[in-house]
Amino acid sequence: MAEPKDNLLMEKIVSLCKRRGFIYQSSEIYGGINGFWDYGPLGAELKRNVKELWWNDMIRQRDNVVGLEATIIMSPQIWKASGHVDTFSDPMIDCKTCKGRFRADQTNEIACPQKPSKMVSECHGEKTSPRAFNLMFQTYVGPVQDDSAIAYLRPETAQAIFAQFKNVLETSRQKVPFGIAQVGKAFRNEVTPRNYTFRSREFEQMELEFFIKPDEVVEAIESVKSSVSGVQPESSELKTENLKLETSANWGWREWHKYWVEERIAFYESIGLPRTTLEEYWQKPEELAHYAKACVDILFKFPFGTQELEGIAARSDFDLSQHERFSGKPMGVFDEELRAAWPKLDEARKTGLSRRYFEARLKYLTKMGVETAKAEEEAKEDAAGLAKGQYVPHVIEPSAGVDRLILALICNAYSEVTETDDKGKSETRVILKFHPRVAPIKVAVLPLLKNKHELVKKAQEVRDLLRPWMNVFYDDGGSIGRRYARQDEAGTPFCVTIDFDTLGEKPELKDTVTIRYRDDGKQERLAIGELLNWLLPKIR
Amino acid sequence: MAEPKDNLLMEKIVSLCKRRGFIYQSSEIYGGINGFWDYGPLGAELKRNVKELWWNDMIRQRDNVVGLEATIIMSPQIWKASGHVDTFSDPMIDCKTCKGRFRADQTNEIACPQKPSKMVSECHGEKTSPRAFNLMFQTYVGPVQDDSAIAYLRPETAQAIFAQFKNVLETSRQKVPFGIAQVGKAFRNEVTPRNYTFRSREFEQMELEFFIKPDEVVEAIESVKSSVSGVQPESSELKTENLKLETSANWGWREWHKYWVEERIAFYESIGLPRTTLEEYWQKPEELAHYAKACVDILFKFPFGTQELEGIAARSDFDLSQHERFSGKPMGVFDEELRAAWPKLDEARKTGLSRRYFEARLKYLTKMGVETAKAEEEAKEDAAGLAKGQYVPHVIEPSAGVDRLILALICNAYSEVTETDDKGKSETRVILKFHPRVAPIKVAVLPLLKNKHELVKKAQEVRDLLRPWMNVFYDDGGSIGRRYARQDEAGTPFCVTIDFDTLGEKPELKDTVTIRYRDDGKQERLAIGELLNWLLPKIR
């Protein structure tokens, strides 16, 4: 159980993040507010880059995923349907003596506020029995603060996607399988926020809900197809050609789930988290939620332990079904391919597929407390829909936390180098080895000297040449060595130095600059005219 | 007072936004939630583009502005300092008879819930006297819901910038004048949300706080400079050369305020709002907040009236001073140029500048209720700081609403065209004439026919060529005319059609495509190899 923890490293990272403006405590001048963190200038750029890369990878580079931007405050009915109102809670006990409130499962770890030498579980205070404490932040919408005005800050972005599923389906020219993705803030009133920004009360998520056909539907369509020989490839298959991995419109949940696990790991690798820093954890059957078919956690080896970056769950049709039942609005889709295939199935096949579909629906309805006779009737009706081409889509959900990814990128990038100068004095300094794609600053432009007008002017020309294409930092203050060191600490992959050779002191070097690499300090010479084309492919 | 309103146009816009997936009502399947709106696939892309363009224009293209991303929930002390806890409210009355609650200034406009033929002001219900209703959404942070746990959803993004001013100053290598910018959600529990997304309860802001030297400081430095002849241009002036308008580190508030008004209008023009759709409204002295020196509203001519897109305020040192007083943490800066200049001033100048600084500080402190003797003492101390190079920066605040800008862009883009076909049948359809920079989709790639494998294959090659660089929509469904019309309605500036000539039916046209322009339907022929370079400058 005991994992290696590197508290010293974590302290250094926290200190660097503050010192260089990656992360500050929220409201620091007022003593802070527990569980809330702000991103400073470098942190805000890093976070933007990551979110932009995710959006691009998940939506803009794909034909079959579209974006959504929903509100944080939604109808409270959504959280009843999702189960959050009833079950998104931690058990808490109150101490009648000290008036403290504690997580019931942490009384062995928390010191008594009145007698800190004892744990809460050992002290003499009279405790209540555990009660559920809901983790959703609650507020009131409108001028009257009564029960009908209660609303919640969303504890996840996913539910908005389910609630708008039909609107998106009807307005975006998509057909199942397709996905809806969203990036945005979510809030959980964690009793014990911890591990820096890893578990905070306000955080950001990047979630995709990828809607797929139930396996029964896939099998119905595929078994008809395979009985027809010599078919031409269909455009629905061609359509997905440009995805990095081949996909098929008629995959079952296992294929889609595996596909998204691989896609997501590939994404992490593409932004600079080596495969060796990641772990896959496949949840055991007994760990899964009752509606889930599988869930894989992608973990990163943080200095404080190996912890989850993202979960990729096969959630069946649970979410859409819940909203269908709670809103009374149909969440099913019509599938022409299924409707056309069904009559061509033999009777045994029809019965078998209907039976399986019926049983899955019955299991869900019963689990939700629907009375048996009614559940059987409903499940039967649902199964009868197959023949008409109707079903409620299933979903694969890759759900990632932005803030913990930012922290993982910083932890992974953190490295130290010790250098000894001519006088034998050695100094240890930090290099943040970000992948150029995520680095807050892509290139620093540095005139060798500040007080030489020609150097400054030329450097500013170079800055203005690059700036429309990437985030450029211009710096003319201090020795060139110190400026390099500052950029290393900010994670800037390239420095461009304008010196007297640039101005033509050595005629053969006129209008060339020095490019210095962050990771090894190596330098090379490049013509200004080639600079943009040299840099662009490296940072994209 | 009466403005021309175009309700029919507004209805058409609302309908289009829903139909094409720009904007949906939040939680629509549950009957919605008043004052909350979601962005669908096209709306989410449009909004991302606008925010990205603002971030790029305000931060990445400038040496003297940096970004911040702070939390929505902050220490409640921040809202005490800012005045929001005490004064951010509407006056409300309760009706003891019907239990309704109404804005006291709207009782003539709101019908009585029990007797809708009468207005609230005329009905017989017994009313309370008006009470202040705070517009901030309130919640509790942590497990105990008592007064010490109260927190608010931020009603604006600006205050986080002030609260983190010193952290940013100390970690970002900036000196006054410089700015901190932020984009993010804000919340106001409006009693009467209205005009579609224009005034909603959850919205997004793009705010810059640009910190400048007080005029007394500028005058001290400049009067010493002007007495020295033959000075070389300083690098601080050179540094700003690449800004679109020339700036100077030693401008007073009037110059900076004017500069930002012009910059912001130029921004709106650059994303497709013509100058003629905008108005400037300079607030009259009696309209200004007591601490403000000037405020300009930039208005857009919406179908429902001419309304504010952005306010650009010169807010003096009010905000930083308030946080200094409430947090007890110094918010002043040290200015080496001022410290060096001060001893060189003649005595009359020193006295005059100190006096003015003293009086401004005294006015502020007295207004804030600081007792006279104490206020005088403090103001004197503040003025004495000038000689040591110390002062609290003033601020210019361009503060824009994202959602109303999105609505302005859609209203401005909306146009209709009526076409008559060969059979004399005429049809009116919508074209959204977005500037290509903000358009959700930059280019649609369309194979002439869906069932010709070679056309589809070539079209997908073109899609994959463009996609890494821009948002591409691939569509092979329906007649080419219908597909063009769909893209016009989505605001896509260019369609690229792959036809048999592309495949070489006419050998001289092999590997060329048709480009169709959205706004006039004109078409031209272009080689695939030139496509990317032709498109890129048009969409950036």
Q: Which of B288, B286, B276 is nearest to B312 (CA)?
A: B288
Percent of chain A with pLDDT over 70: 96
Task: Write out the two tokens for B367.
Answer: 């207004």
> Which pLDDT belongs to residue B125?
87
- Listed in sequence order, the residues at least 6 apart from B176 whose beta carbon sits closer than 8 Å to its beta carbon are B211, B212, B213, B333, B335, B393
Q: Is the pLDDT of residue B205 over 90?
A: yes
Q: Measure CB to CB from residue A460 to each of B40, B182, B238 and give the nearest one.
A: B238
> Which pLDDT belongs to residue B106?
85
Q: Measure CB to CB from residue A21 to each of B32, B70, B171 and give the nearest one.
A: B171
Question: CA of A89: which chain B residue's CA is closest?
Answer: B143
Selected residue of A23, A25, A37, A38 to mutate for chain B interface (largest B Cβ count, 10 A): A38
> Cβ separation of B171 and A77 shorter than 8 Å?
no
d(CA A472, CA B47): 25
In tens, the pLDDT along A64-89 reads: 999 999 999 999 999 999 999 998 88
> Which pLDDT belongs to residue B475?
96
d(CA A388, CA A406): 47
Query: ∠B400-B406-B409 over CA atoms, to 5°?
Result: 110
Q: Measure CB to CB from residue B41 to each of A29, A63, A67 and give the nearest one.
A: A67
Contacts of A63 in chain B (CB under 8 A): 474
Q: Which residues pair with A524 in a beta bridge?
A: A515
- Listed in sequence order, the residues at least 6 apart from A393 whose beta carbon sits closer than 8 Å to its beta carbon are A176, A177, A211, A212, A213, A214, A317, A320, A333
The whole-number average pLDDT for the span A197-226 is 95
Query: ∠A101-A102-A105 over CA atoms, to 5°?
Result: 155
A232 in contact with B, Cβ within 8 Å: yes
Instruction: Determine which of A356-370, B115-129, B169-183, B258-272 has the lowest per-residue pLDDT on average.
Output: B115-129
A525 in contact with B, Cβ within 8 Å: no
> Which pLDDT belongs to residue B109?
84
A461 in contact with B, Cβ within 8 Å: no
Banded model confidence at residue A3, pLDDT cuts 50, 70, 90: low
pTM for the predicted model, two decimal places: 0.95
Percent of chain B with pLDDT over 70: 96
Are the C-beta atoms of residues A195 and A82 closer than 8 Å to each other?
A: no
Q: Is the pLDDT of residue A238 over 50?
A: no
- Listed in sequence order, the residues at least 6 apart from B235 whose beta carbon sits closer than 8 Å to its beta carbon are A450, A451, A456, A476
Instruction: Determine which of A312-321, A403-412, B187-196 has the lowest per-residue pLDDT on average.
Output: B187-196
Interface contacts A/B by beta carbons within 8 Å: 273
DSSP state of A125: -
Q: Measure CB to CB from residue B29 to each of A67, A163, A486 and give the nearest one.
A: A163
Selected residue of A17, A69, A498 to mutate for chain B interface (largest B Cβ count, 10 A): A69
- Listed in sequence order, the residues at least 6 apart from A205 whose beta carbon sits closer than 8 Å to its beta carbon are A156, A157, A158, A182, A183, A184, A185, A186, A399, A400, A401, A402
Selected residue of B30, B45, B406 to mutate for chain A interface (largest A Cβ count, 10 A): B30
> Which pLDDT belongs to residue B310?
98
d(CA A218, CA A250): 5
Question: CA of B51: which chain A residue's CA is closest?
Answer: A48
Task: Write out the two tokens for A17.
Answer: 């993040």
- What ipTM is given for this predicted complex? 0.94
The whole-number average pLDDT for the span B352-371 is 97
Q: Report which residue type is found at B48.
A: R
B464 in contact with A, Cβ within 8 Å: yes
Q: Report which residue type is found at A526.
A: L
Question: CA of A242: which chain B residue's CA is closest?
Answer: B464
d(CA A445, CA A464): 10
Q: Is the pLDDT of residue B183 over 60?
A: yes
Q: Is the pLDDT of residue B2 over 60?
A: no
Are the C-beta atoms of residues A387 and A342 closer than 8 Å to each other?
A: yes
Strand order in the sheet with B394-401: B65-67, B178-187, B202-212, B394-401, B305-314, B294-302, B278-282
d(CA B294, CA B290): 10
> Which pLDDT belongs to residue B124?
84
Q: Which of A81, A80, A83, A105 is nearest to A92 (CA)?
A: A105
What does the DSSP assignment read for A22-59? SEEETTGGGT--TT-EEE-HHHHHHHHHHHHHHHIIII
- Listed in sequence order, the residues at least 6 apart from B286 whose beta carbon sits closer than 8 Å to its beta carbon are none
In tens, the pLDDT along B438-497 reads: 999 999 999 999 999 999 999 999 999 999 999 999 999 999 999 999 999 999 999 999
Q: Measure CB to CB from residue A29 to each of B171, B323, B471 and give the nearest one.
A: B323
The whole-number average pLDDT for the span A259-274 is 97
How many CB atoms sit inside 10 A of residue B73's CB?
25
Reported in sequence order, the residue ranges of A200-285 that DSSP labels E, i.e. its strands, are 202-212, 278-282
Own/partner contacts of B382-386, CB < 8 Å, gap of 24 or more, are: B382/B357, B382/B358, B383/B354, B383/B355, B383/B357, B383/B358, B384/B354, B385/B332, B386/B216, B386/B217, B386/B220, B386/B338, B386/B342, B386/B353, B386/B354, B386/B357
Are the C-beta atoms of residues B484 and B516 closer than 8 Å to each other?
A: yes
Q: Which residues of A398-417 are buried (b: 16+ CB within 10 A; e: fewer)?
A: bbbbbbbbbbbbbbbbbeee
In tens, the pLDDT along A502-537 reads: 999 999 999 999 999 999 999 999 999 999 999 999
Measured CA to CA in angstroms, residue A32 lies from A12, A172, A203, B144, B186 at distances of: 20, 44, 16, 18, 20
Q: Which of A103-107, A180-184, A220-224 has the highest mean predicted lDDT (pLDDT)?
A: A180-184
Banded model confidence at residue A94, pLDDT cuts 50, 70, 90: confident
To which residue do tokens 């359809």 refer? B429
In tens, the pLDDT along A100-138 reads: 888 888 888 888 888 888 888 888 888 898 888 899 999
For strand A394-401 and strand A305-314, is the pairing parallel, antiparallel, or unpaired?
antiparallel
Residue A121, min C-alpha distance to chain B (Å)? 18
Banded model confidence at residue A191, pLDDT cuts 50, 70, 90: confident
d(CA B76, CA B149): 9
Task: Write out the two tokens for B213.
Answer: 């030297």
DSSP three-state, residue B418: strand
B63 in contact with A, Cβ within 8 Å: yes
d(CA B39, CA B25): 9
Contacts of A136 in chain B (CB under 8 A): none
Are the C-beta atoms of residues B490 and B20 closer than 8 Å to each other?
A: yes
For strand B443-447 and strand B472-474, is the pairing parallel, antiparallel, or unpaired?
parallel
Q: Report which residue type is found at A130.
A: P
d(CA B247, CA B443): 38
d(CA B170, CA B11): 51
- Looking from the CA of A6 toward its CB, the CA atoms found within 13 Å total 10
DSSP three-state, residue B474: strand
> Which pLDDT belongs to residue A156?
97
Contacts of B67 in chain A (CB under 8 A): 41, 44-45, 48
What phi and psi, each to the nearest 5 degrees, are found at residue B316? 55, -150
- State chain A's mean pLDDT as an integer: 93
What does the DSSP assignment read for B27-51? TGGGT--TT-EEE-HHHHHHHHHHH
The whole-number average pLDDT for the span B128-152 is 92
In tens, the pLDDT along A455-509 reads: 999 999 999 999 999 999 999 999 999 999 999 999 999 999 999 999 999 999 9
Instruction: Determine which of A88-97, A243-252, B349-358, B427-436 has the lowest per-residue pLDDT on average.
Output: A243-252
d(CA A130, CA A135): 15
Helices (H), B292-371: 318-327, 336-341, 347-367
> Which pLDDT belongs to residue B244?
52
Contacts of B459 in chain A (CB under 8 A): none
Q: Which of B388, B397, B398 is nearest to B217 (CA)?
A: B388
> Which pLDDT belongs to residue A367?
95
> Which pLDDT belongs to residue A235?
41
Better-predicted residue by pLDDT, A109 or B310: B310
- Listed in sequence order, the residues at least 6 apart from B299 whose beta carbon sits closer than 8 Å to its beta carbon are B278, B279, B280, B281, B306, B307, B308, B309
> Cβ separation of A71 and B477 shorter than 8 Å?
no
Instruction: Determine which of A7-16, A102-111, B73-82 has the lowest per-residue pLDDT on average.
Output: A102-111
d(CA B279, CA B274): 11
Task: Write out the two tokens for A401.
Answer: 């936390």
